[in-house]
Amino acid sequence: MKPGIHPRYQRATVQCACGNNFVTRSTVPVIHVEVCGKCHPYFTGRQKLMDTAGRVERFRQKYRGGAGGAGAAGAAGAAGADKAAG
């Protein structure tokens, strides 16, 4: 290896949004993450919806509906079929 061209590999503290901290090694001293092994649904067995900019709420509004789970798109399609038949 050439001297002086590689970044310094040092101890790094990883800080999760859930409050968990642990030490590893990296080229940066502090790493911030949103999910870790303590709070990730795969490891905890709990489902956690991560709403980024209201995406989950928009999805729920879009597909909220009556019988059969059809949302606004299903209702519009049925109205169009009535017009075509009449």
Burial of 69 (0-12, 13-18, 19+ CB in 10 A): exposed
**Among the CATH numbers 3.90.1150.10, 4.10.80.400, 3.20.20.80, 2.40.50.140, which is that of 7-47?**
4.10.80.400
Q: What is the pLDDT of residues 53-66, one digit of tens each?
A: 677 778 888 898 75
Average pLDDT (4-14) is: 93
| Residues whose CB falls within 8 Å of the CB of residue 26, separated by 6 or more in sequence, listed in order | 9, 10, 12
* Separation between Cα atoms, residue 53 and residue 23, nearest integer Å: 31
> Averaging pLDDT over each range in 3-7, 42-46, 68-72, which range is the top one?
3-7
The pTM assigned to this predicted structure is 0.47
- Contact by Cβ (8 Å): 31, 11: no
Q: What is the pLDDT of residues 11-41, one digit of tens each?
A: 999 999 888 999 999 999 999 998 888 887 7
